[in-house]
Amino acid sequence: MLVKICGITSKEAAHAAVKSGADFIGFVFAHSKREISPADAASISQYIPASVKKVGVFVNETIENMMQIAEVVGLDVIQLHGDEPAEVAEQLPYEIIKACPAEKEAIENLKQYPCDYCLLDTPSKKSRGGNGTVFDWNLLDSLQLDYSKVILAGGLTPENVKDGIEKVNPVAVDVSSGVETGGQKDVNKIKQFITNAKQTRKDEVT
């Protein structure tokens, strides 16, 4: 089971995630309480081994800015978390995660999107992800998804991640607020989340 710890803003949190076995470290370069500057992300990235993929999260950003930030930080993956058309993804020479609200119509449209991973998150009108609420996993039962590409997100915690994995059977899980205490990444919660997620089944190699 692959694990992505998103919204990293400190070396301590990044170190905890790497040490505990995270496969992806996510930096948010969009308006958010977890937003980080490219310079700070680059500083943290120096301590992330090449075996852990660095993900940049963007919302309706220009291709030029994404490319520039990716180069500065040393990103491996770009996560498109807005309304980016397929043409944007096709022009980015990186692995692509396309985030999608867990709604039937949106997921159906996503099936033709040129991406390496599909991140399914809880729908929200207030912000793009990081809301800490779970969507109805049963919604996915009637949709024919390629689960080798599905990243499950939305309200996951150390306590419910096993249930989410068993129900949805994704290739990866993504967490941000679920491993925080008082709005800050909690080292113990990061460790417990990764441990619980990886106890469910062997890691997949993609």
Catalytic residue positions?
A: 6, 121
Q: How far apart are CA 16 and CA 175, in angstroms?
A: 14
Give bridge partners of residue 57 from the DSSP assignment.
28, 79
Q: How far apart are CA 32 and CA 167, in angstroms?
A: 30
Q: How far apart are CA 134 and CA 156, in angstroms?
A: 7
Q: How far apart are CA 155 and CA 130, in angstroms?
A: 8
Angle (CA) 10 94 191, round 5°? 35
